[in-house]
Amino acid sequence: MQDNNLDLADSEFLLAAINQEMPFGKYAGCKLLQLPEPYLVWFYKKGFPEGKLGKQLALMYEVKLNGLEGMLKPLLR
């Protein structure tokens, strides 16, 4: 049996991650979905930061790695 609350939470996390602005560095102010793939690969190799931002960056890495960015662009606010 599938837990609909978990699905809703996952959807909300994805939407929040897509629209989260990078808080620091060269791409500060850029939405995470719009970060260049090489930057996310660099984080993947170096290690994502701890906490929510790290989880969001890891998710965007997976999105880009699997070619899903175009499908998610309409969700940008």
End-to-end CA distance of the chain: 33
- Tell which residue, 10, 9, 12, has the closest CA to residue 75: 12
- Residue-wise pLDDT for 13-60, tens only, equals 999 999 999 999 999 999 999 999 999 999 999 999 999 999 999 999
Helix axes 51-65, 4-19, angle to 10 degrees: 90
What's the pLDDT band for 5 if we cut at 50, 70, 90? Answer: low
Domain spans in the chain, listed from the N-terminal domain onward: 4-75
CA angle 61, 67, 69 (to 5 degrees): 75
56: how many CB neighbours lie within 10 A of its CB?
A: 22
